[in-house]
Structure 1
Amino acid sequence: MISYAECSARERIARLFDANTFHEWLPPSERITSPHLAQLGVPSSFDDGVAIGRALLGGRTVFVAAQEGAFMGGGVGEVHGAKLVGLLRRAQRDRPDAVLLLVDSGGVRLHEANAGLIAVSEVMRAVLDVRAAGIPVIVLVGSANGCFGGMGIVARCADQVLMSDASRLAMSGPEVIEASHGVDEFDARDRALVWRTTGGKHRWITGDCDVLLDDDVAAFREAALAALNGSRPVKPESLEAEHRQLAARWALLPEALDGDVEALTLWQRLGVPKPEEVASMDVQALRALRTD
């Protein structure tokens, strides 16, 4: 077993896709860097923290974007976001079998926040356009940084979200919530609380994650292969179904506005028989708890 979380962006590409089939667009040799970081005296990366290109997965052509969490936490800036948008726009033209986004991001870079926010909005629109064209957009979340901020929204715009039980997905990160509202609202140092609120197991139980996986590159490859035929074009019916799901979840938590509801309560109301045991369950045991 090879840990997905411990791999770099390019190691994930090399191990997930058919050997020696990745063709990178705008590689580091092109030296396309952020125009903002140098002005601020911040070190740049020659790929701006994301590798994009074309590869084969089980012999089928896919487009790939892999964020490098070791560079600025996988933060999205102007060039980083433009590479993601360009990949998705090219997918509309060339029509690969799927687009895979290997997310490893804390959200938008504060160093170029306005440019990053605009870029994320353009990525969201491009994801929905690709889906409307019948091309699946699959998000893989299994990194140490997780999937937060604008990339958290992007993930929920995709056809499918594949997560490891050790990964996290949310809009605001624990540190951001604590900084904004205080430790009494959310203690970012409480790892158990963080994973109960944003972790892969929680997201799978609540239906925000389509496939829950072990932290294993081979498991991610197998799940990605299975997801290639999982196109879910955005239609009024699918949006209405998601709204019903959210309304039903909210109805389970009438006291949520008082701030007294935690994940264990929600899991119990969603039918998990022993919610206090979820943290210690392996992926196979947890999967057996959801039958839909």
Structure 2
Amino acid sequence: MTTAQSNAASLSWYEASARQRVEALLDRGSFCEFIGPEQREASPHLSIFDLPEQFDDGIVIGRGRLEGSSVLIAAQEGRFMGGAFGEVHGAKLTGLLRAARMLKEDVLVLFDTGGVRLQEANAGELAIAEIMRAVIEARRAGIKVVGLIGGRAGCYGGGSLIAGTCSRLIISEQGRISVSGPEVIETNKGVEEFDSRDRALVWRTMGGKHRYLIGGADTFVDDEALAFRQAAINTLEMNGRYDLPLLTAEQQRLERRLTRFSPAADAIDVWQTLGIEAPTEIPGLPTKEFMRRAADKRENADDAR
């Protein structure tokens, strides 16, 4: 193992910044940033609210090599406004996805977002729609769009909708996916419905293990940059098929999932229905043992492919 690989192996994806993740994921020295620090494409709206700007508006985009193959990449910075989507932030990702069609190159999206930026709500919502359309158009053109989820902010709101349109998703235990975040659910439905301060509840409901078990993510990895890198390499070698029979099969799978798990009051009930051995132990299991128990039990999205 090289020094660079050793550093990547020890780097926590959850703790890393967007640029650290990009550097660890791609071949060393291969990344070329689009719209970098010298161009400073900051949001034109935040100063109205006396909020600080960031030169890249919380998302890094560019091109690099992964195991020698050229790829396009976008990485959200969850430490800037929770990685939220605004006008510039969304336009950068939309542009990258459109470029992928022209360049015929696959795309990696490193999600770390709480959803739409409230200060740019309309622009942010429009950005989500434009990005989803760009993902679909890229996939129809034969481009793979792979999402990687394991950052501090999770993948919430409009970010989760975009993730749902990706070709495949790679997730760690620290990753979370949900349309509504814990605080949003509690605010609208009350603490009796969902206690946002209950971290165990949040992670077993929205976290990587649960999403993997119900087929909401395709690959489960440790919280290590090298693990995400290897998973990305493997994923880009898979079939990128995208057609009406695939969508029909996926819709049928989701309908079956809804019927099967509707009676469940908690994620543990879902795991028990799946036939997982000792389901209450799932949150504390190391990856190797978790994957052993998940084998042949999880709802597999590949069944629709």
Q: 1:228 aligns with which of 212, 215, 236?
A: 236
Question: How much has 1:274 moved relative to structure 2?
Answer: 1.5
Aligned residues of 2:142 and 2:242 also touching (Cα < 8 A): no
Question: How much has 1:234 moved relative to structure 2?
Answer: 2.5
Q: 2:82 aligns with which of 53, 66, 73?
A: 73
State the TM-score, normalized to the length of structure 1: 0.96
Please give the secondary structure, in 2, of the residue aligned with 1:105. Answer: coil
Question: How much has 1:29 moved relative to structure 2?
Answer: 1.5
Aligned to 2:91: 82
Question: How much has 1:231 moved relative to structure 2?
Answer: 4.0
Aligned to 1:30: 39
Alignment gaps of 5+ in structure 1: none
Provide the aligned C-alpha RMSD in A.
1.1
Where does 1:1-292 land on structure 2 (aligned, <5 Å)? 1-96=10-105, 98-255=106-263, 261-288=265-292, 289-291=294-296
Q: Which amino acid aligns with 2:229?
A: R
Aligned residues of 1:159 and 1:231 also touching (Cα < 8 A): no
Question: How much has 1:254 moved relative to structure 2?
Answer: 4.4
Question: How much has 1:273 moved relative to structure 2?
Answer: 2.3
Question: How much has 1:74 moved relative to structure 2?
Answer: 0.2
Question: What do residues 90-130 of structure 1 show as CA deviations (whole Å, max 9, x unaligned)?
Answer: 0011111x100001100000010110000011000001111
Aligned residues of 1:73 and 1:104 also touching (Cα < 8 A): yes
Structure-2 separation of matches of 1:20 and 1:262? 45
Structure-2 separation of matches of 1:240 and 1:275? 31
Please give the secondary structure, in 2, of the residue aligned with 1:252. Answer: helix
Q: Which amino acid aligns with 1:126?
A: A
Aligned to 2:3: none
Structure-2 separation of matches of 1:55 and 1:246? 35
**Cα 1:207–1:31 shift into 2, 3 Å:** same
Structure-1 separation of matches of 2:291 and 2:255? 24
Structure-2 separation of matches of 1:241 and 1:198? 24
Structure-2 separation of matches of 1:233 and 1:40? 44
Aligned residues of 1:31 and 1:46 also touching (Cα < 8 A): yes
Please give the secondary structure, in 1, of the residue aligned with 2:275. Answer: coil
Aligned residues of 1:135 and 1:231 also touching (Cα < 8 A): no
**Cα 1:254–1:52 shift into 2, 3 Å:** closer
Structure-2 separation of matches of 1:89 and 1:117? 18
Structure-2 separation of matches of 1:271 and 1:126? 38
Structure-1 separation of matches of 2:269 and 2:263? 11
> What is the percentage of aligned positions where both structures have the same residue?
46
Question: How much has 1:249 moved relative to structure 2?
Answer: 1.4
